[in-house]
Structure 1
Amino acid sequence: MGDARKGRVEFRLDRTSIIHVPLGKVSFDGDRLMGNLVAVIEAVVKAKPSGAKGQYVKTASLTTTMGPGIELDLKPTLSLSSS
């Protein structure tokens, strides 16, 4: 429970190699959501198995719990996570 309060979130791949991760709440501003997105991408890339080849994060979409997904452009996000 203490880790959840600090913002730690566990993630796993489902059968179709998709990761479902909550990034924030409706009350979060854009900068906070972007920071969370960069942190998630960094954590996923860091957890990449050494045997995995190619581009590890290909696409991302943002959605509410029951709403339609919006495709994200990852080029700026990937450059932020690498710097």
Structure 2
Amino acid sequence: MPNPKSGTVTMDVAKAVKEVKQGKIDFKVDKSGIVHTSIGKVSFTADQIRDNAKEFIATIIKLKPTTAKGTYIKSIYLSSTMSKGIKIDPKSVDEI
């Protein structure tokens, strides 16, 4: 749903369209530190989803606060809407 906080309700439509075309990434973080985002659609190829996942994880790592200590990404799960998640080893992300 459109939401002013996420920038999907705006008076500057041209700016919003430009951001989306440049690859704007939207994600939400809940109280438990779990990050929720969309990295693709069912129609995407496995390569497209892999590339999007790698880019998203790289972005999360770039946004890591300098004061954060310990393991920053503890686990990764991928799922489609309303389906069971598939666990991915965070160490394997560098190998993809």
Counterparts in 2 of 1:78 and 1:56: CA distance versus 1, 3 Å: farther
Q: Share of identical aligned residues, percent?
A: 35
Q: 2:53 aligns with which of 18, 31, 37?
A: 37
SS in 2 for 1:61: strand
2:93 aligns with: 77
Greater RCO (CA < 8 Å, at least 6 residues apart): 1
How far the C-alpha of 1:72 sits from its partner, in A, is 1.2
How far the C-alpha of 1:73 sits from its partner, in A, is 2.3
Tell me which amino acid in the other structure corresponds to 2:26: E
Quote the Cα distance in structure 2 between the aligned partners of 1:48 and 1:12: 15
TM-score by length of 2: 0.74
Instruction: Indicate the structure (1 or 2) with the bigger Cα radius of gyration.
Output: 2
TM-score by length of 1: 0.84
* Structure 2 unpaired stretches of 5+: 1-15
Tell me which amino acid in the other structure corresponds to 2:61: V
* Structure 1 unpaired stretches of 5+: none
Is residue 59 of structure 1 aligned with residue 75 of structure 2?
A: yes
Count the aligned residue pairs.
80
**Which structure has the highest strand share of the two?**
2
1:17 aligns with: 33
- Post-superposition Cα deviations, 1:39-63, rounded to whole Å, max 9, x if no partner, equal 0111000000010011211111111
2:13 aligns with: none
Tell me which amino acid in the other structure corresponds to 1:13: V
